[in-house]
Chains A and B, each alone.
Chain A
Amino acid sequence: MTSTEFEAVIGLETHVQLNTKSKMFSWSGAEYQQASPNMLVDPVSMALPGTLPVVNKRAVESAIAIGLALNCEIAEITKFDRKQYTYPDLMKGYQISQYDEPICTDGWLDLPTDEPRRVGINRVHMEEDVARLIHVDSPTGGVMHSLLDINRSGVPLMEIVTEPDMRTSKQVEAYITALQAIIRYLGVGTANMEEGSFRCDANISVRPIGSREFGEKVEVKNMNRVRAVCEAVEYEIKRQVAAIKRGERIEQETRGWMDGEKVTVTQRSKEDAHDYRYFPEPDIPPIHIGRDWVTKIKSGMPELPLAKKHRFMTDWGLSDYDASLLVDQRSSAEYFEKVMLSVADQSRNDQADFAKETANWLNGEMARMMHEADVRAMGETLVDPASLAVLVRKFQQREINNNSAKRVFAEMFENGADPEEVIQRMGLAAVGDVDELTPIIQEVLANNEAAVADYLSGKTTAIRFLMGQVMKATRGRADAQAVMGLLEHAMSDR
């Protein structure tokens, strides 16, 4: 048997932190990433006796928006439940979560993979994050004591659970990337795995291809980069297939990913599984979600990345590759749209050419300079979209050559300059006029007889040297295409 006779069945459970101002059930700030330890604390998030949870309306709206983006049904009535377990980072000794009546159910997400794949969304539910334990090591080894930072306690979390619809780590990666983009587009979270605002656990089983039954599933935790999720999935598939081939049975268990060793190890067997003793949260009455509320949230939602990408491709003829790069960030996509809007009067064909050129600039020079300057969002750069349109058009119409255009763009990026003003000031307008270029070319030819001779004797690459000399004489402004034609023409006369 070879491993190709097995397929993997993968489902993901993702925890997404919401970027609400205050916590899920209380009033202290939720932006714990920036705060000093224990500065975002109130009686509720510290579980002082007698305190009660009050649901953050914004968090509910975010959950509804996520549900809508994932094509879910939004519950008319949703309730909270208590999930009980004991751990020092869990302030109340139970987590307020949702058990059997989650806010969103039965949705799907289409993956933008080469082979289209639809991943079912089983549910989206609301819950709260726990505090953070910081273990202080003893100089003699082991943990000396643990410190508790309550800032994160009560930060809103959404748990998004897929159906077991993925088969490969590539699909897992596509799902994660697509979900991150949705969260960021909706503006409800940062969806950053490294900083912990987006966490992924994977349920993995394998089965012989063609089998309709599922194998015993293993839950894998502790991955804190997208890459790690993929590596863990790949490792776990190989491990399970190898075990089955050895005639072993896969046990249902929870395993942890060891990023250093690149292996998964047993954390908890099925027998040790928690009994969370869920029961309805008596402190929070069920929430009625009126359809008018849902409609209002829906109407306030931005166009989502996949829809945007398709529109960019059909309306403006962008390639899948260019469009995908642009829609990766909402800010870039919206920037691109602003540039296109400023030239709306163009013909359809011109627009397609212009769109392609604009995409090149945004995905190329703009992205490069943003990276250098550590600017995160295209909308935050100083480059005015309409000005960029002017530059792109001048470049397209060869009023300015490539080098000059880059110099102009650099000025625009650094201080928001107007491209026409820069071209004027720096004298960068392309020299493409035959009358202007002809005497310069004659002079270059006269001063470089050896190169001319090389060219005429068949070393055609010598024309590049001559071109360089013309550029030097015009201080780089010459239109390269025009110069090339004139050079060829002049030498053919000899």
Chain B
Amino acid sequence: MCDQFSNDRLVEDAFALEITFPTMTEPSPETHASAREMRAKLDSGETTAREIALAHLQRIQKVENQTNAFLTVLGEEDVVTQADAADALIQSGNASALTGIPFLIKDNISTNGIRTTAASKILDGYIPPFDATVVDRLKDDGAIILGKGNLDEFAMGSSNENSAFGAVVNPWGKNRVPGGSSGGAAAAVAAGEAVIALGSDTGGSIRQPASLCGVVGFKPTYGTVSRYGLIAFGSSLDQIGPIARTVADCADTANTISGRDPLDSTSLDLEIDFTKFIDRDISDMRIGVPREYLVEGIEPGVRSAFEASLAVLEGLGAVIEETSLPLTDHALAVYYIIAPSEASANLSRFDGVKYGMSIEGEPNARESIEATRGSGFGPEVKRRILIGTYALSAGYYDAYYKKAQQVRTLIRREFQDAFQNFDALVTPTSPTVAFELGEKTQDPFQMYLSDVCTIPVNIAGLPGISVPCGLSDGLPVGLQIIAPQLGDQVAIQIAHAYEQSANWKLTPPEL
């Protein structure tokens, strides 16, 4: 990609497109294969990075007005330049796993010279002069960046309806949400607009949309992937990870983007091979099912798909046992104090003074800042800034933030104790399948419950992966596998074994 940026390389904001609804084209091998399948064809010379990239641009052109998954699509010239560089790498025998594989980058991850909005009006016109570390590493490997993915504003949401640039539509159903906040990422991978996407996960924002769109989403252990360049939401919870069609593609991507980054003090000084155990069988592995994840609010179809997946794991020789994590009930409350508290500080920098949107003509700086923030942030973002500001205020800090941190420590310990007995835990990723657009927008608490199964994993900083485990009423259900801290390889191993055995290969129907 060019360091120089010009606006004419970009398509207009997705929400400004004239929306027409042509029929989605038949899934094609160029756009619906896994990265590993493409890798084989690229290395054998059966296809080229340029062909794959162009097929994706065509696919985007065809279906984007139905999905609204992208906020920015790079121009053909830019994409071809990247693809040709990838082809040169392949021809010289220097290809690695992701060389020539088309990516979508969630639009809260900074890209040098490409506008990065976090789906917020307040970042209108902001073009980062640097790449996030993960983007830098993808580029080093010769991956192709197609564009930037839609999301809930500042990653705050579970349905992608909080985007300032319009909701994303789930390819599995026109009136269904894709989940969130990485809704554009999950929808694009499901709809064949990108092979892999980088998302971010603060309370389930990779796993829940992956589940709702029938793809694989992996949130690695906190600290294994650099956050430098990720627009911060809840700094102690945020983690970048991949959304892809297969577990192996997720593991390959994690290998590329992980590792110590001197620009992120919280990044761990570890080299992890996420694919290390991928082909090992899981016989005699002990897998726990925490009963607290299967209580009220879980849809019958989700429950039966989940129970069927337990049978598959047992069939692979794993020992499945029910267990209890009583503190699970408190995780949501802890999350909705810690994440907004951190967010309230993280979002203070958006004041219109340095970059992005700025309301001018106010009599002084304070009023200009207030006006900019008042009109730049959407309602959910404002709600969370208010919650966080309140929780950190003098006189409330001990009752809210401090108490939440104490409970967080207890939740972490409860997981540690559980992992004394189990190699991994499994739960449904989301209590429901994709819900209808508008169904929960009037009730924030119902919306928050959508992440009830994924949030504890972030609270404890653990690795979690969601793999498709069937359909309920024609909509995908996801199985979440949770491993101990730095047990990412085990989560990948179990997810891969399940994926290979269940062999769902879910593809969205024609719209």
Chain A interface residues toward B at CB < 8 A:
43, 46-55, 82, 84, 86-88, 91-94, 146, 148, 275, 277-279, 282-285
Contacts and interface: CB of A to CB of B under 8 A. Distances in A.
B232 interface: yes
Of residues B109, B231, B235, B349, which shows the largest number of chain A Cβ atoms within 10 Å of its Cβ? B349
B162 to A, nearest CB: 17
A84 B369 CA distance: 15
Closest 9 CB pairs of A and B: A93-B348, A282-B235, A282-B236, A277-B392, A49-B231, A50-B229, A47-B349, A50-B110, A275-B394
Contact of B369 (A82, A86, A146, A279): A86
B123 interface: yes
Contacts of B393: 275, 277
Interface string B106-130: 0011100000101000010010111
Contacts of B229: 50-51
Interface stretch (B97-105, B259-267, B289-297): B259-267
Contacts of B348: 84, 86, 92-94
Contacts of B365: 87-88, 146
B306 interface: no
A278 B348 CA distance: 14
Interface string B357-396: 0000000011001000000000000000000010011100
26 contacts: A43-B128, A49-B110, A49-B126, A49-B350, A50-B108, A50-B116, A50-B230, A50-B231, A52-B265, A52-B266, A54-B262, A54-B264, A84-B348, A86-B366, A87-B365, A88-B365, A91-B354, A92-B349, A93-B349, A94-B345, A279-B341, A279-B342, A279-B345, A279-B392, A282-B266, A283-B265
A450 to B, nearest CB: 84
Interface residues of B, number: 45
B504 interface: no
Given A86-B366, A93-B351, 14 more contacts: A43-B130, A48-B354, A49-B232, A50-B109, A50-B228, A53-B265, A84-B392, A88-B353, A93-B347, A148-B353, A148-B354, A277-B392, A279-B392, A283-B264
B116 A49 contact: yes
Contact of B345 (A50, A84, A88): A84
A279 B265 CA distance: 18
Nearest to B130: A43
Contacts of B397: 277, 279
Nearest to A44: B263
A47 B118 contact: no
B156 interface: no
B227 interface: yes
Contacts of A82: 345
A51 B226 CA distance: 11
A52 B354 contact: no
A87 B229 CA distance: 24
Nearest to B373: A86
B132 interface: yes
Nearest to A283: B235
Contacts of A47: 349, 354
Contact of A86 (B128, B230, B263, B351): B351
B70 interface: no
Contacts of B277: none
Contacts of B394: 275, 277
A51 B345 contact: no
B448 to A, nearest CB: 21
Interface string B330-355: 00000000000110110111110111
B165 interface: no
A55 B265 contact: yes
A52 B263 contact: yes
Interface string B31-63: 000000000000000000000000000000000
Nearest to A275: B394
A47 B401 CA distance: 25
Nearest to A87: B365
Nearest to A143: B364
A284 B265 CA distance: 6
A148 B351 CA distance: 14
Contacts of A282: 235-236, 266, 342
Contacts of B350: 49
Nearest to B342: A282
Contacts of B342: 279, 282
Of residues A47, A50, A55, A82, which shows the largest number of chain B Cβ atoms within 10 Å of its Cβ? A50
Contact of A52 (B108, B227, B344, B369): B227
A144 to B, nearest CB: 12
A47 B118 CA distance: 16
Contacts of A48: 110, 128-130, 354-355
Nearest to A42: B130
Given A279-B341, A282-B342, A284-B265, A49 B349 contact: yes
B364 to A, nearest CB: 8
A60 to B, nearest CB: 13
Given A48-B130, A50-B230, A285-B265, A277 B351 contact: no
B349 A91 contact: yes
A49 B265 contact: no
A93 B118 CA distance: 19
Nearest to B109: A50
B343 to A, nearest CB: 11
Contact of A54 (B130, B263, B366, B392): B263
A258 B423 CA distance: 68
Interface in B242-297: 262-266
B193 to A, nearest CB: 24
A369 to B, nearest CB: 49
B152 to A, nearest CB: 16
A144 B136 CA distance: 42
B345 A93 contact: yes
A294 B347 CA distance: 37
A317 to B, nearest CB: 53
B345 A49 contact: no
Contacts of B227: 50, 52
Nearest to A274: B394
B403 to A, nearest CB: 13
A51 B110 CA distance: 9
A278 B398 CA distance: 12
Contacts of B263: 52, 54
Interface string B453-467: 000000000000000
A82 B397 CA distance: 14
B136 to A, nearest CB: 12
Contacts of B108: 50
A259 B118 CA distance: 48
A36 to B, nearest CB: 19
Contacts of B109: 50
Contact of A285 (B262, B266, B341, B353): B266
Contacts of A91: 349, 354
Nearest to A276: B394
B131 to A, nearest CB: 10
A91 B350 CA distance: 9
Of residues B123, B228, B265, which shows the largest number of chain A Cβ atoms within 10 Å of its Cβ? B265
A120 B345 CA distance: 34
Nearest to B132: A50
Given A43-B130, A54-B263, A49 B123 contact: yes
Of residues A43, A93, A146, A285, which shows the largest number of chain B Cβ atoms within 10 Å of its Cβ? A93
Contacts of B266: 52, 282-285
A383 to B, nearest CB: 46
A278 B392 CA distance: 7
B264 A52 contact: yes
A26 to B, nearest CB: 9
